[in-house]
Amino acid sequence: MVLRKGGLMNGAEAILEALEREGVRHIFGVPGGANMPIYDAMYTREGIEHILTRHEQGAAHAAEGYAISSGRTGVVFATSGPGALNLVTGLADAMMDSVPLVAITGQVSRSAVGTDAFQEADVTGVTMPITKHNYLVQDVNDIPRIIKEAFIIASTGRPGPVLIDVPKDVQFEEFSGSFDVAPQLPGYQPTTKGHPRQIQKALAALKEARRPVLMVGGGAHDASQALLKLIETTGIPVITTLKGLGAVPATHPQVVGMPGMHGTVAANLAVQQADLILAIGLRFDDRITGNLEKFAPNVRTVIHVDIDPAEIGKVVEASIPIVGDAAWVAEKLAQGAEPLELEEWWAQIRAWQEANPLPQPRGELLSSIEVVQAFWEATGGEAYVTTGVGQHQMFAALYWKTKRPRGFITSGGLGTMGYGLPASVGVQVAHPGELVLNFDGDGSLQMTVQELATLVRYNLPVKVLLLNNGYLGMVRQWQDLFNEKRYAEVHLEESNPNFARLAEAFGMKGVVVENKEQLPQAVDEILEHPGPVLADFRVHNEEGVFPMIPAGGSAEDIITQHPEEAN
């Protein structure tokens, strides 16, 4: 610990000391007027590495990527007013996808709070609905307790973001408190152990089921080992949501696929025909259920396992609710599970799978599908994947067979375009020796493209794989299918930058891949390059993502190819 003159510590140093005691090794952030004391304290301090992003939103998503891929709590710094407000999208994203973050923001001095001071914003007010909890520090000696509580709240129960707003004068103030403090959270007692009777009921119901499915979501990644045991004992078909990709390896023969709007036909029909749904760590998002009235009409038993009691019964009524930690409950279920007789059910699912394979690349133009497939083949799926939001995200979700838990890092609930590149920064920081691929879209990438500079500055060898179709592609697809091709404000091509040269301008390798013939060599060139690469894949402009269930529809309404191709 570095002490100031006279052996005393100020609030800023106390913050860093408390963070270090929480085991924090990396912080993502941007300095500014109201958090300068923290950065000043960091200047001479060792033990914590700070990653400077070019925008606070980038810092927030980087911390998310760091947290999702590693399971550790991500930490973000931003200054008051605009700095803190730039975190808002990242905090909301983390709230929706249950990502453990601690954001520490500078605030104007206590005497200036409420006076519309320079760079003042009511950050605790603004972030109230998009954080799991937030704090405004009023007393410098509360810092250790508040930071301890923040990490507990962020990382336990249903994880989520916690924001701590620290007035600048508090950062300067002399600290005379103790770091040996107990958290004071009388109202916070998450349930981690599922009720044994409910688990017995679930096991009994499983035994009776003829057409059961196990649905796993983003809350199930740490349950991976227990889930494997459970599925291999029972033989149950597995459906992995977008956020659950990799919780059970997509290459496992029992994984039927992803459900929902862009899920596979077999996965959707399996849910539709199931008589029992065992849902672990998911919240039945509307992109999964579609029209609720028609969702899973044949289901007789819904076993819903979640650590957040408020998610149980919120959307789909659960006949056997189990509040608890996914890993704990999955382990108990695995221990009590017995082999199920599912030959008929599997025959049906295999028939659906055979009759409805995922679309494959066709035609002369370079397909997004084959780009994803080429990288999967070349790497054997051994990589962390991040994505932006849009068509490329769905192509990646469907064709990248995620093999590892926490291996597919994407913005699910909030659907934040621009998420992929900054998230890849955090993933690469958390996993320096691993390959990180960011599948991105031209629309998405440009929302946070400044973070290419962060890749360069820290020499993070992320491969940015830009599926460039010159459109806001998902919106175009909707306009194509539902608005009679009235392509309102979705054209990007004419005004897109030359992405390879843009990458070069940032100081990293840029590659253009214009056709199928160039693809194999380009894949090798990209993967062999030791540093960061941006590869601009000029893919088919009007390729659609299929299957698709139109908004408000159900599995019966699934479209497996473009209607014009069907004729």
| Residues that are catalytic | 56, 118-119, 168, 474
- How deeply is 202 buried, as exposed, middle or buried, from its count of CB atoms within 10 A (0-12, 13-18, 19+)? buried
CB of 56 to another protein, least distance (A): 23
**H/E segment holding residue 319:** none
C-alpha closest to that of 358 among 471, 250, 277: 250
**From the CA atom positions of the chain, what is the Rg in Å?**
24
What is the nearest approach in angstroms of another protein to the Cβ of residue 281? 17
Q: Is 115 helix (H, G, I), strand (E, B) or coil?
A: coil
Cβ-contact 286, 314 below 8 angstroms: no
Contact present, 11 and 49 (Cβ < 8 Å): no
Tally: H helices and E strands in the chain:
23, 20
Report, in Å, the least distance between residue 476 CB and another protein: 32
In angstroms, the Cα distances linking 552 to 310, 425, 548 are 24, 36, 11
What is the sign of the dihedral through the CA atoms of 32, 38, 40 and 45? negative
Q: Which of 349, 370, 377, 152 is nearest to 266 (CA)?
A: 349
CA atoms within 13 A on the CB side of 560: 17
Q: Any residues with CB less than 8 A from the CB of 308 and at least 6 apart, and which?
A: 157, 158, 283, 323
- The alpha-helical segments, DSSP class H, found in 400-497 are 420-430, 442-445, 452-457, 473-482
Which CB, 160 or 412, lies closer to another protein? 160
* Residue (94 or 558) nearer to another protein, CB: 94
Q: Which distant-in-sequence residues (6+ apart) come within 8 Å of 374 by Cβ?
A: 519, 520, 523
536-557 burial string, b = 16+ CB within 10 Å, else e? bbbbbeebbbbbbbeeeebbee
Question: Could you check whether the bond before residue 461 is cis, i.e. omega within 30 degrees of 0?
Answer: no
Given a contact cutoff of 8 angstroms between Cβ atoms, the answer to whether 298 and 274 are in contact is: yes
| Euclidean distance between CA atoms 28 and 434, whole angstroms | 20
Quick one: which of 147, 20, 12, 24 has its CA closest to 74? 24
Is residue 429 within 8 A of residue 407, CB to CB? The reply is no
Contacting positions for another protein (CB under 8 A): 124-125, 128-129, 132-133, 136, 153, 185-189, 191, 193, 308-310, 313-314
* Maximum distance among all Cα pairs of the chain, rounded to whole angstroms: 82
Compute the least distance from the CB of residue 102 to another protein, in Å: 14
DSSP-assigned letter for residue 71: S
Whether the Cβ atoms of residue 52 and residue 410 lie closer than 8 Å to each other: no
Give the residues across from 153 on adjacent strands.
none
* Minimal distance, residue 103 CB to another protein, in Å: 16
